[in-house]
Amino acid sequence: MQNIELLMLALEYIEVHLGDEIKTEDIASACFCSKSTLEKLFRNVHNISVHEYMIRRRMMLAAKKLSMQPKLPILDVALEYGYSTHESFARAFEQIWNCKPSEFRTTKYTELFPRLSVPPKKGDCYMMQLKHVDISELYDLFQERKDCFFVLSDIKHMVPINEISRKAGDLAILEQMRRMTSAAGQEDVVFRIGGDEFCILTSSNEASYAEQIADKIRNLNDQTFSYEDQEIPLSLFVSTVSLKECSHCEELFAGLHNAIKKSKES
């Protein structure tokens, strides 16, 4: 089985079985490969372990359920995603969202760790410059809002933040998401489209509306977020774009990332 087929099969199997008690060995067996082969491939392509990816995806689905069904008992959500106690679920949830499950009920949900997809290949190599994520939901909404503007963001100086620690980098991305969500209008939708790349698909075809949102986000540049005993400043590249001529997901994905790249070069 070729690596691209193995990755596709593994990602699909994980998504179907997120509510089950599965281990990396189970996924490898379902994909007819060894655990070490699957783990090595996953880390090489996606820079994350299989186990950690499963935790993040489970916490994304759990957060969505808590946001959409605020009266649902937390233990019910915990049990659905493989946690036998409220305490073990709360620990895992807080590691991802930096807040308790009970505090998340009033939070506007954004998928912080979207489903990964297989990155495109150039020759025999994967194109690793982007964290390739599934934007099918974004594309479907884009089909309904083709005349609407996007607001895009990317973190400035992300490498020095990651050098402090991986947790600091995760908190920076979480703060980026919060700023985007806070600035977005009620009908606008926030999506994570890469490692530290986010977009807002607005509900307006007016450039001025998108620029107002962008200005709200820019005005928060250099404000800090807390990591242990440090206050770390965070600034974002922010831009707006209208992309009307995208006939499939890959074209939209490329268009958004090209727009982000141009904004960083200007």
Residue 123 confidence (pLDDT) above 80: no
Q: What is the pLDDT of residues 58-91, one digit of tens each?
A: 999 999 999 889 899 999 999 999 898 999 999 9
Model pLDDT, residue 5: 84
State the pLDDT confidence band at 260, using cuts at 50, 70 and 90. very high
Closest CA to 163 of 110, 241, 95, 227: 227
φ, ψ for residue 90 (rounded to 5)? -60, -40
Confidence class of residue 122 from pLDDT cuts 50, 70 and 90? low
Q: Is the pLDDT of residue 139 over 90?
A: yes
Between residues 210 and 127, which one has the greater pLDDT? 210
* Position 155 pLDDT exceeds 90: yes
Query: Is pTM beyond 0.75 here?
Result: yes
Q: What are phi and psi of 80, to 5 degrees?
A: -65, -30
pLDDT digits over 172-189, tens only? 999 999 999 999 999 999
Other Cβ atoms within 10 Å of 137 Cβ, number: 13
pLDDT at position 128, please? Answer: 43
What's the pLDDT at 130? Answer: 45
Q: What is the chain written as a DSSP string? A: --HHHHHHHHHHHHHHTTTS---HHHHHHHTTS-HHHHHHHHHHHHSS-HHHHHHHHHHHHHHHHHHH-TTS-HHHHHHHTT-SSHHHHHHHHHHHHSS-HHHHTTSPP--SSPPB-PPPEETTEE-TTS--B--HHHHHHHHH-TTSPEEEEEETTHHHHHHH-HHHHHHHHHHHHHHHHHHS-TT-EEEE-SSSEEEEE-S---HHHHHHHHHHHHTTTTEEEEETTEEEEE-EEEEEE------SHHHHHHHHHHHHHHHHH-
Q: Give the per-residue pLDDT at 255.
A: 93
Long-range contacts at 31-36 (CB < 8 A, ≥ 24 apart): 31/1, 31/6, 32/1, 33/1, 33/6
Res 20 pLDDT > 70: yes
pLDDT tens-digit map of 46-67? 888 999 999 999 999 999 999 8
Judged against a pLDDT cut of 70, whether residue 126 lies above it is answered with no
The confidence band for 247, taking pLDDT boundaries of 50, 70 and 90, is: confident
Mean pLDDT in residue range 227-253: 93
Q: Of the candidates 174, 181, 193, 170, which has an alpha carbon nearest to the alpha carbon of residue 243?
A: 193
Going by pLDDT thresholds of 50, 70 and 90, the confidence category of residue 240 is very high
